[in-house]
Amino acid sequence: MVRPPSRSARRPHAPAALLIAVTLLGTAGAAGCSSSTTAKATSAASSAAAAAQSLASQAQSAAESLASQAASAGQSVGSQAASAAQSLGSQAASAAGGLGSAGASAVASAASSAQSALAGIPGGLDATGDVTLGEVTAGSDGRSDVAVTVTNHQSEANRYTVKVDFKDASGNLLDTTIVTFPSLAAGQVAGLTARSNRTLTGTVKASVGAALRY
């Protein structure tokens, strides 16, 4: 006689079935967690790349702005320097012109005074042959000095008035002055120093502009 299988043989053990179900659920949960983690990582990487690109763009814009500002500042400084140089050049030219005008005026005034002194001598006779000049030197006050020597070649006493001209290397008149000698006996030699009325620069030469005895 065959016996029917017992209840315990016909159904699986409940604990084993439960373990299988838990394992399957765990696998599915792990797969879901893995998929979610991957998506989050991808999203974070995309956000980081976007942020990096944004920072790079901002840095490039800032660099371009600074370069533009530096170029503008350089142009402004260059323009100001050119303007200052032009202004200084104009001032120097104006000053040189003023000095030239003042110098010309001083020469004209000295020449006029010397001419008046000679014109005021009645009966004066030309005596340039009685006058010799030395070398021009600079005096302690910066003005030009030259030794003037007069020899009275006449047989009688005479007074002398000598006009001394100071000129540059090109022969241009720089200044003129008058030297007056008191009465010199016949054959007497006397010397005085002629001094320019103002400071003269450059090469200065002296010559006898006129000489009268009387």
| pLDDT tens, residue by residue, 169-191 | 999 999 999 999 999 999 999 99
Residue 41 to residues 26, 37, 46, Cα–Cα distance (Å): 22, 6, 9
Whole-angstrom Cα distance, residue 114 to residue 164? 9
Kindly list the domain boundaries of the chain, sorted by start residue: 121-213
| pLDDT tens, residue by residue, 27-76 | 444 444 444 554 554 565 566 566 657 666 775 776 577 556 756 655 65
What percent of the chain has pLDDT above 70?
55
- Could you tell me which of 181, 208, 195, 198 has the C-alpha nearest to residue 109? 198
Domain 121-213 has CATH 2.60.40.10: yes
Task: Pick the more confident residue, 131 or 70.
Answer: 131
In degrees to the nearest 10, what's the CA dihedral of 118, 122, 125, 131?
-40
